[in-house]
Chains A and B, each alone.
Chain A
Amino acid sequence: VTAEGKKPHWTTWRRFVQLSIAVFYIALPFANRAGFRAVDGTLAALKIGPVDLIEPAGALSTVLAGRHVTGALLAGVAPVLLLALMLGPVFCSWVCPWGLISEAIDRVRKHNSSGWKGEPWVVVRTVRILSLSAFLLGSIVLAMPLAAFLSAPRLVSALPLEAVYLRILSPVTGVLLLALLLFELFGPRRLWCRAVCPVGAFANFLRWRKTLSLRVDTRICACQNYSLCLANCAWGIDPRHMRPADGCTNCMRCIEVCPSEALTFGL
Protein backbone atom coordinates (compact mmCIF):
# COMPACT_ATOMS: atom_id res chain seq x y z
CA VAL A 1 0.00 0.00 0.00
CA THR A 2 1.46 3.32 -1.01
CA ALA A 3 0.34 6.85 -0.32
CA GLU A 4 2.81 8.45 -2.71
CA GLY A 5 0.16 10.36 -4.60
CA LYS A 6 -0.79 12.25 -1.48
CA LYS A 7 2.73 13.31 -0.55
CA PRO A 8 3.61 16.96 -1.23
CA HIS A 9 5.76 17.52 -4.29
CA TRP A 10 8.71 18.82 -2.34
CA THR A 11 11.13 18.67 -5.26
CA THR A 12 8.86 20.75 -7.49
CA TRP A 13 8.70 23.37 -4.76
CA ARG A 14 12.43 23.16 -4.19
CA ARG A 15 13.24 23.70 -7.88
CA PHE A 16 10.83 26.63 -7.90
CA VAL A 17 12.57 28.23 -4.92
CA GLN A 18 16.08 27.53 -6.27
CA LEU A 19 15.26 28.91 -9.71
CA SER A 20 13.53 31.98 -8.26
CA ILE A 21 16.62 32.80 -6.22
CA ALA A 22 18.91 32.27 -9.21
CA VAL A 23 16.75 34.56 -11.36
CA PHE A 24 16.60 37.06 -8.50
CA TYR A 25 20.39 37.22 -8.36
CA ILE A 26 20.67 37.73 -12.10
CA ALA A 27 18.07 40.51 -11.99
CA LEU A 28 19.27 42.20 -8.77
CA PRO A 29 22.25 44.16 -10.21
CA PHE A 30 20.03 45.59 -12.97
CA ALA A 31 17.41 46.55 -10.38
CA ASN A 32 20.07 48.06 -8.09
CA ARG A 33 21.43 50.15 -10.93
CA ALA A 34 17.94 51.34 -11.82
CA GLY A 35 17.59 52.69 -8.28
CA PHE A 36 16.08 49.71 -6.42
CA ARG A 37 17.82 49.75 -3.06
CA ALA A 38 15.49 47.70 -0.81
CA VAL A 39 17.63 44.59 -1.30
CA ASP A 40 21.33 44.51 -2.06
CA GLY A 41 24.42 42.42 -1.59
CA THR A 42 25.50 38.90 -2.42
CA LEU A 43 25.02 35.62 -0.59
CA ALA A 44 28.02 36.48 1.61
CA ALA A 45 26.10 39.40 3.09
CA LEU A 46 22.63 40.34 2.00
CA LYS A 47 20.64 43.35 3.12
CA ILE A 48 16.86 43.20 2.97
CA GLY A 49 15.52 46.59 4.02
CA PRO A 50 17.08 47.24 7.43
CA VAL A 51 17.81 43.55 8.06
CA ASP A 52 21.35 42.30 7.50
CA LEU A 53 21.82 38.60 6.71
CA ILE A 54 25.45 37.48 6.90
CA GLU A 55 26.65 33.99 6.08
CA PRO A 56 28.09 32.57 9.36
CA ALA A 57 31.09 30.55 8.06
CA GLY A 58 32.42 33.53 6.10
CA ALA A 59 31.77 35.84 9.07
CA LEU A 60 33.65 33.51 11.44
CA SER A 61 36.45 33.38 8.91
CA THR A 62 36.82 37.20 8.87
CA VAL A 63 36.72 37.31 12.66
CA LEU A 64 39.53 34.73 12.88
CA ALA A 65 41.56 36.45 10.15
CA GLY A 66 41.07 40.03 11.34
CA ARG A 67 40.60 39.47 15.08
CA HIS A 68 37.90 42.09 15.07
CA VAL A 69 34.16 41.78 15.66
CA THR A 70 31.55 44.46 15.09
CA GLY A 71 28.07 44.56 16.55
CA ALA A 72 26.71 44.85 13.02
CA LEU A 73 28.40 41.57 12.10
CA LEU A 74 26.90 39.73 15.07
CA ALA A 75 23.47 41.22 14.38
CA GLY A 76 23.73 40.06 10.77
CA VAL A 77 24.83 36.54 11.63
CA ALA A 78 22.24 35.99 14.40
CA PRO A 79 19.11 35.54 12.23
CA VAL A 80 20.96 33.20 9.85
CA LEU A 81 22.26 31.10 12.74
CA LEU A 82 18.77 30.93 14.21
CA LEU A 83 17.31 29.71 10.91
CA ALA A 84 20.07 27.11 10.53
CA LEU A 85 19.54 25.88 14.10
CA MET A 86 15.82 25.47 13.44
CA LEU A 87 15.71 24.26 9.84
CA GLY A 88 19.12 22.63 9.35
CA PRO A 89 21.34 23.23 6.31
CA VAL A 90 18.35 24.06 4.07
CA PHE A 91 20.45 26.83 2.53
CA CYS A 92 22.34 24.21 0.49
CA SER A 93 19.31 22.48 -1.01
CA TRP A 94 16.76 25.29 -1.21
CA VAL A 95 18.67 28.56 -1.64
CA CYS A 96 22.23 28.20 -2.97
CA PRO A 97 22.41 28.82 -6.76
CA TRP A 98 25.64 26.81 -6.90
CA GLY A 99 23.71 23.86 -5.42
CA LEU A 100 21.33 24.12 -8.37
CA ILE A 101 24.24 24.16 -10.83
CA SER A 102 25.89 21.26 -9.03
CA GLU A 103 22.70 19.17 -9.14
CA ALA A 104 22.28 19.97 -12.84
CA ILE A 105 25.88 18.94 -13.61
CA ASP A 106 25.39 15.77 -11.59
CA ARG A 107 22.40 14.90 -13.79
CA VAL A 108 24.45 15.40 -16.95
CA ARG A 109 27.56 13.56 -15.77
CA LYS A 110 27.72 9.90 -16.66
CA HIS A 111 27.80 7.65 -13.66
CA ASN A 112 28.27 3.94 -13.44
CA SER A 113 24.75 3.54 -12.18
CA SER A 114 21.68 5.72 -12.13
CA GLY A 115 21.94 6.33 -8.42
CA TRP A 116 24.35 6.28 -5.51
CA LYS A 117 25.81 2.99 -4.44
CA GLY A 118 26.03 3.61 -0.76
CA GLU A 119 29.35 5.42 -0.90
CA PRO A 120 31.05 5.44 2.47
CA TRP A 121 29.69 8.63 4.02
CA VAL A 122 31.99 8.20 6.96
CA VAL A 123 34.74 9.38 4.58
CA VAL A 124 32.58 12.34 3.59
CA ARG A 125 32.16 13.23 7.25
CA THR A 126 35.94 13.13 7.76
CA VAL A 127 36.52 15.27 4.67
CA ARG A 128 33.96 17.78 5.99
CA ILE A 129 35.69 18.12 9.35
CA LEU A 130 39.15 18.38 7.78
CA SER A 131 37.99 20.83 5.15
CA LEU A 132 36.25 23.21 7.56
CA SER A 133 39.26 23.08 9.90
CA ALA A 134 41.57 23.86 6.98
CA PHE A 135 39.42 26.82 5.91
CA LEU A 136 39.37 28.30 9.41
CA LEU A 137 43.04 27.60 10.19
CA GLY A 138 44.01 28.92 6.76
CA SER A 139 42.08 32.11 7.53
CA ILE A 140 44.25 32.67 10.62
CA VAL A 141 47.54 31.75 8.93
CA LEU A 142 46.99 33.74 5.72
CA ALA A 143 45.11 36.59 7.46
CA MET A 144 42.37 36.41 4.85
CA PRO A 145 38.79 35.08 5.17
CA LEU A 146 39.28 31.86 3.18
CA ALA A 147 35.80 30.52 3.95
CA ALA A 148 34.24 33.64 2.45
CA PHE A 149 36.74 33.88 -0.39
CA LEU A 150 36.01 30.33 -1.60
CA SER A 151 32.29 30.28 -0.79
CA ALA A 152 30.48 29.05 -3.90
CA PRO A 153 27.23 30.92 -3.15
CA ARG A 154 29.17 34.15 -2.71
CA LEU A 155 31.03 33.70 -6.00
CA VAL A 156 28.00 32.72 -8.02
CA SER A 157 25.91 35.61 -6.69
CA ALA A 158 28.78 38.09 -7.17
CA LEU A 159 29.25 37.16 -10.82
CA PRO A 160 26.14 38.93 -12.23
CA LEU A 161 26.79 41.98 -10.03
CA GLU A 162 30.35 42.35 -11.27
CA ALA A 163 29.33 41.71 -14.87
CA VAL A 164 26.58 44.34 -14.78
CA TYR A 165 28.43 46.96 -12.75
CA LEU A 166 31.87 46.62 -14.24
CA ARG A 167 31.00 45.24 -17.70
CA ILE A 168 33.84 42.78 -17.27
CA LEU A 169 34.33 39.47 -15.50
CA SER A 170 36.48 39.91 -12.43
CA PRO A 171 39.56 37.71 -12.92
CA VAL A 172 39.29 36.51 -9.31
CA THR A 173 35.61 35.53 -9.32
CA GLY A 174 35.90 34.14 -12.84
CA VAL A 175 38.91 31.92 -12.15
CA LEU A 176 37.53 30.63 -8.85
CA LEU A 177 34.18 29.75 -10.44
CA LEU A 178 35.96 28.03 -13.33
CA ALA A 179 37.97 25.96 -10.85
CA LEU A 180 34.77 25.03 -9.01
CA LEU A 181 33.13 24.09 -12.29
CA LEU A 182 36.04 21.80 -13.21
CA PHE A 183 35.94 20.20 -9.76
CA GLU A 184 32.22 19.66 -10.21
CA LEU A 185 32.72 18.13 -13.67
CA PHE A 186 35.74 15.92 -13.02
CA GLY A 187 36.07 15.61 -9.25
CA PRO A 188 34.37 13.09 -6.98
CA ARG A 189 30.63 13.18 -7.33
CA ARG A 190 29.21 16.39 -5.77
CA LEU A 191 32.02 16.40 -3.23
CA TRP A 192 32.17 20.20 -3.03
CA CYS A 193 28.58 20.52 -1.82
CA ARG A 194 28.64 17.35 0.26
CA ALA A 195 31.82 17.95 2.20
CA VAL A 196 34.22 20.68 1.08
CA CYS A 197 32.09 23.85 0.95
CA PRO A 198 32.62 25.76 4.22
CA VAL A 199 29.09 27.17 4.12
CA GLY A 200 27.47 23.74 4.09
CA ALA A 201 30.00 22.17 6.44
CA PHE A 202 29.43 24.87 9.05
CA ALA A 203 25.65 24.59 8.75
CA ASN A 204 25.96 20.83 9.21
CA PHE A 205 27.74 21.23 12.51
CA LEU A 206 24.94 23.47 13.77
CA ARG A 207 22.54 20.53 13.95
CA TRP A 208 21.26 19.78 17.42
CA ARG A 209 18.35 17.77 18.78
CA LYS A 210 15.77 20.50 18.05
CA THR A 211 16.76 20.93 14.40
CA LEU A 212 14.23 19.90 11.78
CA SER A 213 15.47 16.52 10.61
CA LEU A 214 14.56 13.29 8.92
CA ARG A 215 12.93 10.57 11.02
CA VAL A 216 13.17 6.96 9.92
CA ASP A 217 10.77 4.30 11.10
CA THR A 218 12.69 1.09 10.37
CA ARG A 219 9.63 -1.05 11.31
CA ILE A 220 7.74 0.29 8.27
CA CYS A 221 10.68 0.39 5.86
CA ALA A 222 10.25 -2.49 3.42
CA CYS A 223 13.34 -2.02 1.21
CA GLN A 224 16.04 -4.66 1.37
CA ASN A 225 19.36 -3.98 -0.38
CA TYR A 226 18.40 -1.39 -3.01
CA SER A 227 16.63 1.60 -1.58
CA LEU A 228 14.94 4.37 -3.55
CA CYS A 229 15.82 6.94 -0.89
CA LEU A 230 19.58 6.44 -1.28
CA ALA A 231 19.34 6.14 -5.07
CA ASN A 232 17.53 9.48 -5.30
CA CYS A 233 19.40 11.43 -2.64
CA ALA A 234 21.27 14.36 -4.20
CA TRP A 235 23.74 14.21 -1.32
CA GLY A 236 24.40 10.46 -1.45
CA ILE A 237 23.02 9.72 1.99
CA ASP A 238 21.32 6.51 3.03
CA PRO A 239 18.57 7.76 5.36
CA ARG A 240 18.34 4.36 6.99
CA HIS A 241 21.89 4.59 8.22
CA MET A 242 22.13 8.32 8.65
CA ARG A 243 23.54 9.92 11.74
CA PRO A 244 22.88 13.55 12.63
CA ALA A 245 25.16 16.01 10.82
CA ASP A 246 25.84 13.44 8.14
CA GLY A 247 25.19 15.99 5.44
CA CYS A 248 21.42 15.83 5.05
CA THR A 249 20.17 19.22 3.85
CA ASN A 250 16.45 18.58 4.38
CA CYS A 251 15.62 18.63 0.68
CA MET A 252 12.76 16.14 1.30
CA ARG A 253 13.43 14.14 -1.86
CA CYS A 254 13.66 10.81 0.03
CA ILE A 255 10.22 11.32 1.57
CA GLU A 256 8.76 11.77 -1.90
CA VAL A 257 10.26 8.62 -3.37
CA CYS A 258 9.80 6.33 -0.37
CA PRO A 259 7.21 3.69 -1.30
CA SER A 260 6.08 3.47 2.30
CA GLU A 261 5.55 5.95 5.12
CA ALA A 262 8.84 5.12 6.79
CA LEU A 263 10.34 8.58 6.30
CA THR A 264 8.96 11.74 7.91
CA PHE A 265 10.28 15.14 8.86
CA GLY A 266 9.97 16.44 12.34
CA LEU A 267 11.53 18.56 15.04
Chain B
Amino acid sequence: VGDQAWRWWRNLLAPLPLRPPGARRESEFAALCLRCNRCIAACPYKSLKPGGWAQATAAGTPVCVPQEQPCYLCMLCPPACPTGALEPITDKHRVRMGRAEVNHNACYAFQRILCRTCVDECPLPEAMTQDGELHPIVTEKCVGCGICEKVCPAPEVAIRVRARGDQA
Protein backbone atom coordinates (compact mmCIF):
# COMPACT_ATOMS: atom_id res chain seq x y z
CA VAL B 1 0.00 0.00 0.00
CA GLY B 2 2.87 2.35 0.85
CA ASP B 3 4.44 1.72 -2.54
CA GLN B 4 1.12 2.41 -4.26
CA ALA B 5 0.63 5.61 -2.27
CA TRP B 6 4.12 6.73 -3.27
CA ARG B 7 3.45 6.01 -6.93
CA TRP B 8 0.14 7.83 -6.66
CA TRP B 9 1.86 10.96 -5.36
CA ARG B 10 4.70 10.75 -7.82
CA ASN B 11 2.10 10.47 -10.56
CA LEU B 12 0.61 13.70 -9.26
CA LEU B 13 3.92 15.50 -9.46
CA ALA B 14 5.34 14.08 -12.70
CA PRO B 15 6.46 16.73 -15.23
CA LEU B 16 6.32 16.35 -19.05
CA PRO B 17 5.50 12.65 -19.31
CA LEU B 18 6.20 10.14 -22.05
CA ARG B 19 3.22 9.69 -24.36
CA PRO B 20 2.14 6.46 -26.10
CA PRO B 21 3.64 5.67 -29.53
CA GLY B 22 2.17 7.76 -32.33
CA ALA B 23 1.23 10.65 -30.04
CA ARG B 24 1.12 14.12 -31.53
CA ARG B 25 3.15 16.77 -29.79
CA GLU B 26 2.20 17.59 -26.23
CA SER B 27 -0.15 20.56 -26.74
CA GLU B 28 -2.07 18.92 -29.60
CA PHE B 29 -2.23 15.65 -27.73
CA ALA B 30 -3.84 17.16 -24.62
CA ALA B 31 -6.45 18.86 -26.83
CA LEU B 32 -7.34 15.85 -28.95
CA CYS B 33 -7.26 13.08 -26.34
CA LEU B 34 -10.81 12.08 -25.40
CA ARG B 35 -9.62 10.31 -22.19
CA CYS B 36 -11.53 7.25 -23.41
CA ASN B 37 -8.82 4.89 -22.06
CA ARG B 38 -8.83 2.67 -25.15
CA CYS B 39 -5.05 2.87 -25.55
CA ILE B 40 -4.69 1.90 -21.89
CA ALA B 41 -6.96 -1.11 -22.44
CA ALA B 42 -5.11 -2.01 -25.65
CA CYS B 43 -1.67 -2.18 -23.99
CA PRO B 44 -0.80 -5.80 -23.17
CA TYR B 45 2.09 -4.72 -20.91
CA LYS B 46 0.16 -2.23 -18.75
CA SER B 47 2.70 0.41 -19.78
CA LEU B 48 0.08 3.16 -19.94
CA LYS B 49 -1.92 4.79 -17.20
CA PRO B 50 -3.95 8.00 -16.89
CA GLY B 51 -1.85 11.03 -15.95
CA GLY B 52 -2.44 12.97 -12.74
CA TRP B 53 -3.58 16.46 -11.81
CA ALA B 54 -0.09 17.96 -12.03
CA GLN B 55 -0.51 17.80 -15.79
CA ALA B 56 -3.17 20.50 -15.51
CA THR B 57 -5.11 20.60 -18.78
CA ALA B 58 -3.67 17.22 -19.79
CA ALA B 59 -4.95 15.50 -16.64
CA GLY B 60 -6.30 12.03 -17.37
CA THR B 61 -4.37 11.57 -20.63
CA PRO B 62 -2.27 8.41 -20.96
CA VAL B 63 1.34 8.46 -19.78
CA CYS B 64 4.14 5.91 -19.74
CA VAL B 65 6.45 5.82 -16.72
CA PRO B 66 9.43 3.71 -17.91
CA GLN B 67 10.80 2.88 -14.47
CA GLU B 68 7.46 1.26 -13.64
CA GLN B 69 6.82 -0.23 -17.06
CA PRO B 70 8.45 0.90 -20.33
CA CYS B 71 6.89 0.73 -23.78
CA TYR B 72 7.69 -2.48 -25.68
CA LEU B 73 6.73 -0.90 -29.01
CA CYS B 74 4.12 -3.55 -29.84
CA MET B 75 2.21 -0.79 -31.69
CA LEU B 76 -1.24 -1.95 -30.57
CA CYS B 77 -2.31 1.38 -29.02
CA PRO B 78 -2.04 3.82 -31.98
CA PRO B 79 -4.89 2.18 -33.98
CA ALA B 80 -7.09 2.12 -30.83
CA CYS B 81 -7.25 5.93 -30.66
CA PRO B 82 -10.58 7.28 -32.00
CA THR B 83 -9.63 10.96 -32.33
CA GLY B 84 -6.21 10.92 -33.98
CA ALA B 85 -4.45 12.09 -30.79
CA LEU B 86 -2.36 9.00 -31.51
CA GLU B 87 -1.60 8.79 -35.20
CA PRO B 88 -2.25 5.23 -36.37
CA ILE B 89 1.35 4.33 -37.17
CA THR B 90 2.46 0.70 -37.17
CA ASP B 91 6.20 1.16 -37.80
CA LYS B 92 8.02 1.28 -34.46
CA HIS B 93 10.95 3.12 -36.04
CA ARG B 94 8.66 6.13 -36.58
CA VAL B 95 7.74 6.39 -32.90
CA ARG B 96 8.85 9.62 -31.19
CA MET B 97 8.15 9.37 -27.48
CA GLY B 98 11.40 11.08 -26.57
CA ARG B 99 15.11 10.34 -26.42
CA ALA B 100 17.27 8.62 -23.82
CA GLU B 101 20.07 10.55 -22.12
CA VAL B 102 22.99 9.00 -20.22
CA ASN B 103 24.02 10.52 -16.89
CA HIS B 104 27.80 10.12 -16.98
CA ASN B 105 28.16 10.52 -13.23
CA ALA B 106 25.87 7.59 -12.46
CA CYS B 107 26.56 5.22 -15.37
CA TYR B 108 28.69 2.15 -14.50
CA ALA B 109 30.44 2.21 -17.88
CA PHE B 110 31.77 5.69 -17.12
CA GLN B 111 33.08 4.47 -13.73
CA ARG B 112 35.19 1.77 -15.43
CA ILE B 113 32.75 -0.97 -14.49
CA LEU B 114 31.89 -3.25 -17.40
CA CYS B 115 28.16 -2.82 -18.12
CA ARG B 116 26.25 -2.78 -21.39
CA THR B 117 22.77 -3.66 -20.14
CA CYS B 118 21.07 -0.73 -21.90
CA VAL B 119 22.82 -1.45 -25.20
CA ASP B 120 21.88 -5.15 -25.03
CA GLU B 121 18.25 -4.58 -24.08
CA CYS B 122 17.52 -1.79 -26.58
CA PRO B 123 14.82 -3.07 -28.99
CA LEU B 124 16.08 -0.98 -31.93
CA PRO B 125 19.49 -2.28 -33.03
CA GLU B 126 20.79 1.08 -34.26
CA ALA B 127 19.47 3.23 -31.43
CA MET B 128 22.34 2.50 -29.03
CA THR B 129 26.02 1.86 -29.68
CA GLN B 130 29.25 1.95 -27.70
CA ASP B 131 32.28 4.11 -28.31
CA GLY B 132 35.91 2.94 -28.14
CA GLU B 133 35.91 3.17 -24.35
CA LEU B 134 32.73 1.02 -24.15
CA HIS B 135 30.61 3.98 -23.04
CA PRO B 136 26.94 3.73 -24.15
CA ILE B 137 25.99 6.21 -26.88
CA VAL B 138 22.37 7.09 -27.73
CA THR B 139 21.90 7.73 -31.45
CA GLU B 140 19.31 9.64 -33.49
CA LYS B 141 17.41 6.37 -33.98
CA CYS B 142 16.29 6.27 -30.33
CA VAL B 143 12.48 6.56 -30.07
CA GLY B 144 12.28 6.86 -26.28
CA CYS B 145 10.58 3.60 -25.36
CA GLY B 146 12.32 3.63 -21.96
CA ILE B 147 13.37 -0.03 -21.80
CA CYS B 148 16.95 1.11 -21.01
CA GLU B 149 15.64 3.20 -18.12
CA LYS B 150 13.83 0.16 -16.75
CA VAL B 151 16.80 -2.24 -17.01
CA CYS B 152 19.62 0.09 -15.87
CA PRO B 153 21.26 -1.64 -12.86
CA ALA B 154 22.95 1.47 -11.43
CA PRO B 155 21.59 2.51 -8.00
CA GLU B 156 20.69 5.95 -9.32
CA VAL B 157 19.17 5.17 -12.73
CA ALA B 158 21.82 6.41 -15.15
CA ILE B 159 19.82 6.54 -18.37
CA ARG B 160 16.52 8.39 -18.58
CA VAL B 161 14.22 9.28 -21.43
CA ARG B 162 13.57 12.96 -21.95
CA ALA B 163 10.02 13.31 -23.25
CA ARG B 164 9.56 14.76 -26.71
CA GLY B 165 7.15 17.36 -25.32
CA ASP B 166 6.23 20.08 -27.78
CA GLN B 167 8.94 19.42 -30.37
CA ALA B 168 7.51 19.26 -33.87
Contacts and interface: CB of A to CB of B under 8 A. Distances in A.
Interface of A: 29, 32, 40-42, 44-45, 47, 52, 54, 58-59, 62, 65-68, 70, 72-73, 76, 142-145, 148-149, 154, 158, 161-162, 165-168, 170-173, 175
A175 to B, nearest CB: 7
B154 to A, nearest CB: 27
Given A42-B37, A170-B50, A76 B30 contact: no
Contact of B58 (A62, A73, A76, A144): A144
Interface of B: 4, 7-8, 11-12, 27-28, 30-38, 40-42, 46, 49-53, 57-60, 80, 82-85
Contacts of A54: 34, 82-83
B31 A66 contact: yes
Contacts of B8: 168, 171
Contact of B33 (A41, A42, A145, A165): A145
Contacts of A154: 34-36
A44 B36 contact: yes
Contacts, number: 124
Contacts of A172: 50-53, 59-60
Contact of A165 (B34, B41, B83): B41
A240 B41 CA distance: 46
Contacts of B38: 40-42, 45, 47
B84 A171 contact: no
A149 B8 CA distance: 20
Contact of B30 (A41, A67, A143): A143
B36 A42 contact: yes
B82 to A, nearest CB: 4
Contact of B34 (A47, A58, A143): A58
B36 to A, nearest CB: 4
30 contacts: A40-B38, A40-B41, A41-B36, A41-B38, A42-B37, A42-B38, A44-B34, A45-B83, A47-B82, A62-B83, A62-B85, A66-B28, A67-B31, A68-B28, A68-B31, A68-B32, A70-B83, A142-B57, A143-B57, A144-B58, A145-B32, A145-B34, A148-B35, A149-B60, A154-B34, A154-B35, A161-B40, A162-B40, A166-B40, A172-B51
